[in-house]
Structure formats: C-alpha cells, structure tokens
Amino acid sequence: MNTRFLEAFVWVVRLGSFRAAAERLNLTQAAISSRIASLEEDFGQKLFDRDPRELRLTAAGRVLLTYAERMLEIGSDMQAAMRTNSELSGTLRIGVVETIVHTWLIDFLNELKVRHGALEIQLTAEPTHRLHDDLRRGQMDIAIQTDAVLDETIRNREIGLMPMGWVGPPSATADTALTLAELAEQPLITMTRGSQPHLALLDTCRREGVSPKTIHCVSSIAAIIRLAAAGFGAAVLPLAAIRAELAAGTLSIIPCSASLGPLRLVVSYRIDPTNRASEAVAALASEEALKFALGVGAGMATPGRG
C-alpha cells in the first residue's frame, strides 16, 4: 500500500477539505482526489460522505484513520531510526516539565550526547502551558510535557503514563485507607495551577464532594518534597518522581479511598522538512520513556502508545 495515499487521506481529515490537504502537501486538488479514489478502490469502501457544506468520514473512513495514523507514525519512526547513525548538528531547544527532571532526563541527555555529540542542547524546565506557548511561537523545538499541542505545524506523541498518589511523611502512614474528606482536613499540596496534578486533585475533590480548606500550588517538585516530608500537608505527586524518597522512607504513600488518575506524558515537536533533528530526538525521548517504564515497573510508569 502506498503510504503517500494514506498521508493524503490523513491530511484531508485533519484539515477538512481536499483543497487544504493539496496546499499542505504541495499537490493539486486533482492529485489528492485521485489518491483518495485509489484508497476507496483498494478497500472497496467509501471513505467520505460529501456534501457542499461538509466533508464527513464514513464508518469505514473512521476505521481507516486509526490505522493510517499508526502506519504513518511507524514510518516516521523507521526513518528516524535509520538516521540515528547520521550526525546531527546545530542547536536544539528542548523544554521539559519537572516530572521529567526527576525521572529520566539525565539518562536521556546522556544518550543524546552519545548518539549526537555535535548537537548543542539548550534546556528549559517550565510548566506545560509555558512550553506550549514557546513551541507555538517557534521559541522551542521539542517539549516533553503533559498535553498534546493542537497546532498543524506540531506533531505529538504519547510516551507514557505515571501513576499519581497521595504522599506525606512516614508518620502519615495509616492502617486503613482515609477518605478524601479526612485527608483534606490538612492542607493539600500540588503542582502549578492548571497542571495535570492540580487538575486531577480538583476533579477528585469534585467527584468526592469535598472542598479542601487549603490547596498549595508549588511549581518545584523538590520544594513539594520538602514541604510534604516536614508534614506541612498531603501532596499529590507522580510516584515515579519521588521513588528515591519512598525507598529511603523520607516520604510515604498515604492510603486514600479517592484515587487519582495517571499523569500523561507527551513529546511534541515542530515539523520541519529541512531539519530532522527534532524528529530524531523526539524518537529518542520516546525510547528513553519506554526504557524507564520497563525499568521501574507498572507501579511507577507504563509505556505510551507511541
């Protein structure tokens, strides 16, 4: 099967028209129509319902879209892997969230140095919303953070999940699980306002019908660790980011009947046909996230769908 036909199909869906897809791929509208017609002939299925106002996917089109996106992603990975022996140079601006700093950032940077030593890295650690802004404005090339960036010039790849938990000093350990109402009798500590841990805390409180008296929002995981260890409140954190403190007994997991969803991790990078460094390094980030998840186990991290 010709992947260029699948690429045309995916861009028609993403942009909502044959004309826009033709402009995106530097093709004529007739060429796009021909590629879609070839796919429909190959599968014996109609992929779009067309009317003057709207272009809609058929049921067969929705099924094909899932597979087409995966095949294109695999093709991109294959190309990146085949280029790993080629020397990358220049400057690459990488932004990460705090959770990456406390998990697999050092391993990632070391592997990057081994594979692409001529590449100069400029590193920034910021909350997700700031990384999104910098990526959209072209002030950053790669962002490893928690949410997909909705922009046609940016590609996103899910690279893993990290369970979050309630943590506090060793004295906070209980024989039975606390309710969220009981836990919220003390201050709650989480990360920056609008971050995934902060939103997960608010969603859990709404679900449980609990209104905490105090929520501290702190941008630094290191600061949250110190506050929680000193007993200033119960903290919501990705467990993988504090595995050393849990192992040492500096912090302990507080059993609570109110569960928190996992922290999602996404690597987002700008699409630049003239410079494949971002794509290759994003593929390496996905590889390191997978290695980390396999190394620490499902209780700390699980692989992404890639």
State pLDDT tens for residues 38-47.
Answer: 999 988 989 9
Domains and CATH numbers, the chain: 3-82 (1.10.10.10), 90-160+263-303 (3.40.190.10), 164-253 (3.40.190.10)
pTM: 0.71
Tell me 193's DSSP state.
T
Which has the closest alpha carbon to 242: 258, 257, 263, 261?
A: 263
- Joined tokens for residue 212: 């905490």
Tens digit of each residue's pLDDT (9 = 90 or more) over 50-104? 877 788 899 999 889 888 888 887 777 666 655 554 567 788 999 999 999 999 9
Q: Please, what's the largest Cα pairwise distance for the chain? A: 70
CB 245 within 8 A of CB 170: no
Report the C-alpha gap between 113 and 230 in whole angstroms: 38
Question: Could you tell me the pLDDT band of residue 1, with boundaries at 50, 70 and 90?
Answer: low
Which has the closest alpha carbon to 105: 96, 114, 113?
A: 96
Tens digit of each residue's pLDDT (9 = 90 or more) over 116-168? 888 999 999 999 999 999 999 989 999 999 999 988 889 999 999 999 999 99
What pLDDT is attached to residue 156? 95
Report the C-alpha gap between 176 and 102 in whole angstroms: 30
CB 234 within 8 A of CB 139: no
Average pLDDT over the chain reads 90
- Joined tokens for residue 79: 């190309």
- Joined tokens for residue 29: 């509208």
What pLDDT is attached to residue 166? 96
Report the C-alpha gap between 15 and 236 in whole angstroms: 39
Question: How far is residue 265 from each of residues 103, 188, 303, measured CA to CA in Å?
Answer: 12, 23, 10
190: enclosing H helix or E strand: strand 188-190
